Amino acid sequence: MRAPIFCALLLAALALPAAEGMFSVDAVTPAVAAEMKAMGCRFDPATLWRPGGKCLAMAVVNLGGGTGSFVSADGLIITNHHVAFGAVQSLSSIEHNYIRDGFLAADRAQEVPAPGYSVRVMTGFEDVSDRFRRALRPGLDPLKRLRLVERISRELAAAGEKEPGNECAVVPFYGGRRHYRVTYLKLRDMRVVYVPARAIGEYGGEVDNWMWPRHTGDFSFLRAYVGRDGRPAGYSPDNVPFRPGHYFPIARTPLREGDFTAIMGYPATTRRWLTAAEAANEAQVAFPARIALLERFIALLERLSAGDEAVRIKNAGVLKGLYNSIKNNRGLLAGLERDAVLAGKAAGEKELAAWIAVDPARRKRFGRLLPAVQRLAAGEREIIPLEAVQARLGRGCRLLEWALTLSKWGREKSRPDLEREAGFSERDMAAWKERLGVNQRNLDLKIDEAVFALYLESLLAADQPGFFAALAREVDSAPGAGRGERIAAYAAALYAGTRLADPAFKQELLQADARAIRACRDPFILLAGTLQPGIDALNRRRGAIAGEWLEWKPLYVEALAAMRPDRLRPPDANRTLRFSYGRVEGYSPRDAVRYAPFTTLSGVLAKERGEAPFELPPAFRSAAREPGVGGLPVNFLTSNDSTGGNSGSPVLNADGELAGVLFDGNYESLASDFRFRPDLTRSIHVDMRFVLFVARQVDRAGAVLRELGLE
């Protein structure tokens, strides 16, 4: 049970499930601390975060899309199997199938680089809202407002990054009502230490994904390395393990139902502060559009992978993500309907309108609010389908992404760093150079061309505003009876004529200036020239709306907070470090069914079917059949609030020890990104007792166990 700050005692007395809470690290008010203690927490909540001092946050790392935590003084990190999946995939080949068989370094010398992986440890978290408040006059042109916010953010970040090894992000909270500068130490030399076999790490696969009861060993171990001076550095055989400011010891007391739990991690996005019209856009336009695109994308990749093991390995990571996405999107849409999110939002705004109307002061401050936010949502509704295509397919096609990015570099790099578009600073350039290599690794031109054709077809079909009219004319000039045929002919010609699959050519273009890019006759670079104005127009439209939201969303939050001063909910997740507290707790998914919060080893065996995703490695099977181990906990549920990005988060017990690793939310929790349901929302974790069982009994990972202080 996790309670909000305000009615903690009442809820504790009633033993009712509580409301959401992804608290930022500076939100440990006395009330929160008291509530945590009442729920059984024995560590001092003040140790969660201490700027510059030893604290729990120093043991938590941001892994890009996921989270991890230090579990040894020598920079050993535990995270999810699915978070390390990309690294394992890059290391794998038909000869060394680490995806299938797992990977275990017998000693440090055998630990292999995780290409493209880095982790960030938070070292600073400052409220910089005043800096924005001073600069942003009301009534500013929306696009100018947006650019100003971007510029201030960049300036603040750049100032923070003067210290070498630092990386800074300036992040809005409460829709821009507040801003924080977050400072990280970024560790770039990451290596793979131990990953169990896929049959364990992904047991249940897509069938069980988001489901409970669950029996997945979704864990892996990485290690962060630094230069001999202790400072962040790129890979070098001379590097040494990073010494974190704190690491989590493995839990010594068995976790039980009802026990206090805390998680810390990097949740990416929640949308709980959406207006009614924004929620309607999501449910009625965005989700249906995304689901339709995903269905087509998945069908395409499955067709191309069928019967070709090499193609299958190349597509594995992408397909895994797509299946995850589509199940997520479908569950979310179903949850929005089940939880009557639209109706609830509409009722809330009706109440807000009435609250504003009865008071002259409120009418003065908020009178224009609701019409404004409705107008903004109507404007967004028109561009959502196009944005869905860009988000879902625009990055699925590698040559297209390179062409657009390289073209854009040509233009942006001649401008001063602070004036460039986001993503094109000098720092980004370095990241790009590195990514070009990784990105190349799994390139398959047949796949890429097919995805490109699907992208073109979807983009032109969704282009109601006509942003891409020039592209449509160009495609329609290709030979063919219908648009489908013309797109295929157009794509075939492009792929036959381009040199963009050649890494040397790409590096060459990355050095080139705007004039050289303009002179380049590579058909993909030419296409980028045709496409970019449409993308720019779409981005300007989005930017103008975003600029207006920067004015109105803070006011919307202010109005709701003023109407219900006793009910201010935490800010939406925004990829910054959050903690949440809760309890080990099951739930009732439907009438007459109750889910217990722990699954067991005997449940793993009961699910086995002899074929993936329910086929166990023989070593696991025989270890799990040993007498007396059937009751060993495998996965568990807690009422902690979490979302995507929390994957790999440490689950701490009442003593601040590591009891598990978060790897999923339950299916019923998907819509909790929009509305938290205390009776249904649960996080799913792998129990450390199962991690240690697999490491010890199945994989004989002696070095890891010794480093954890367990052998």
For the annotated catalytic residues, the residue numbers are 82, 218, 647
Are the C-beta atoms of 322 and 290 separated by less than 8 Å? no
Beta strands per DSSP E along 58-109: 60-62, 67-70, 76-79, 103-104
Name which of residues 488 to 517 contact a second copy (CB under 8 A): none
Q: Which is nearer to a second copy, 34 or 629 (CB)?
A: 629
Size of the site for a second copy (CB under 8 A): 18
- Binding to a second copy by residue 521, rule CB under 8 A? no
Beta carbon of residue 184, minimum distance to a second copy (angstroms, whole number): 38
Nearer to a second copy, 634 or 703 (CB): 634
335 binding a second copy? (CB under 8 A) = no
CA distances from 411 to 209, 342, 509, 516 (A): 43, 43, 12, 10
DSSP 584: B
Cα end-to-end distance, the chain, whole Å: 35
Burial of 466 (C-beta count, 10 Å sphere; 0-12/13-18/19+): exposed
Determine if 599 is a binding residue for a second copy (CB under 8 A).
yes
Select from 186-194, 385-393, 456-464, 592-600 the region that touches a second copy (CB under 8 A).
592-600
Within 10 Å of residue 290's Cβ, how many Cβ atoms?
A: 25
Residue with tokens 């794509």: 491
Compute the least distance from the CB of residue 131 to a second copy, in Å: 50
* For a second copy, the closer CB: 339 or 448: 339
Query: According to CB under 8 A, which one of 591, 618, 627, 628 is a site residue for a second copy?
Result: 591
3-state secondary structure of 692: helix
Pick from 176, 213, 396, 571 the residue near a second copy by CB under 8 A.
Answer: 213
Nearest approach in angstroms of CB 673 to a second copy is: 22
Check binding of 238 to a second copy (CB under 8 A).
no
596 makes contact with a second copy (CB under 8 A): yes
Q: By three-state DSSP, how is residue 303 classified?
A: helix
- Shortest spacing between CB 298 and a second copy, in angstroms: 25
Of the two residues 178 and 215, which places its CB atom closer to a second copy in the complex?
Answer: 215
Stretch of 361-369, 391-399, 524-532, 602-610 lying at the interface with a second copy (CB under 8 A): 602-610
CB of 596 to a second copy, least distance (A): 4
Which CB, 215 or 553, lies closer to a second copy? Answer: 215
d(CA 390, CA 387): 5
| Least Å from the CB of residue 331 to a second copy | 16
Q: Which is closer to a second copy, CB of 142 or CB of 586?
A: 586
| Alpha-carbon gap, residue 699 to 711, rounded angstroms | 14
120, 154, 179, 215: which one binds a second copy (CB under 8 A):
215
Residue type, 591: D
> Which residue, 208 or 387, has its beta carbon nearer to a second copy?
208
Q: Find out whether 448 and 397 touch, Cβ atoms under 8 Å.
A: yes
Cα 414 to Cα 27, 248, 410, 411, 505, distances in angstroms: 43, 47, 7, 6, 20
User: Residue 204, interface with a second copy (CB under 8 A)?
Assistant: no
Degrees, nearest 5: CA angle 176-179-183: 145
Instruction: Look at residues 525, 503, 509 and name the one whose alpha carbon lies nearest to residue 440.
Output: 503
Closer CB to a second copy, residue 521 or residue 590?
Answer: 590
CB atoms inside a 10 Å sphere around CB 682: 29
Candidates 174, 212, 402, 490; binder of a second copy (CB under 8 A) is 212
| 286 vs 637, beta carbon nearer a second copy | 637
Q: Alpha carbon of 386 to those of 322, 343, 372, 465: distances in Å?
A: 19, 27, 23, 9
359: CB partners within 8 A, 6+ apart: none
- Report the alpha-carbon distance of residue 449 to residue 83 in Å, rounded: 28
Q: Which residue type sits at 406?
A: L
C-beta of 426 vs 591, nearer to a second copy: 591
In whole angstroms, how close is the CB of 668 to a second copy at the nearest point?
13
Helical axes 309-338 vs 445-462, angle rounded to 10°: 30
With 0-12 / 13-18 / 19 or more C-beta atoms within 10 angstroms meaning exposed / middle / buried, residue 253 is: exposed
Q: Return the residues of window 604-663 that contact a second copy according to CB under 8 A.
A: 606
Q: Residue 701, CB half-sphere, CA atoms under 13 Å: how many?
A: 25
Rg of the chain, C-alpha, whole Å: 26
Draw the binding track, 542-581, toward a second copy (x: CB under 8 A; -: no contact). ----------------------------------------
80 binds a second copy (CB under 8 A): no
For residue 124, give the nearest of 196, 223, 52 by alpha carbon.
Answer: 52
Q: Which of 597, 645, 650, 660 binds a second copy (CB under 8 A)?
A: 597
CA 184 from chain centre, in angstroms, equals: 17
Minimum distance of a second copy from residue 599's CB (angstroms): 5
Q: Is 414 helix (H, G, I), strand (E, B) or coil?
A: coil
Q: Which two structure tokens, joined as six digits, stand for 417?
A: 């760093």
Q: Does 595 bind a second copy (CB under 8 A)?
A: yes
- Of 592, 611, 627, 628, the one binding a second copy (CB under 8 A) is 592
Residue 598 touches a second copy, criterion: CB under 8 A: yes
User: In this chain, which of 21, 241, 586, 645 binds a second copy, going by CB under 8 A?
Assistant: 586
CB of 592 to a second copy, least distance (A): 4
Peptide bond into 288 cis (omega under 30): no
Beta carbon nearer to a second copy, 211 or 268: 211
Shortest reach from residue 625's CB to a second copy, in Å = 14
Rounded least distance, CB 61 to a second copy, Å: 30
307's tokens: 């019967």
| Position among 306, 504, 519, 593 found at the interface with a second copy (CB under 8 A) | 593
Among 284, 390, 532, 602, binds a second copy (CB under 8 A): 602
Which position among 107, 109, 590, 611 is part of the footprint of a second copy (CB under 8 A)?
590
Residues near a second copy (CB under 8 A) are: 212-213, 215, 586, 590-600, 602-603, 606
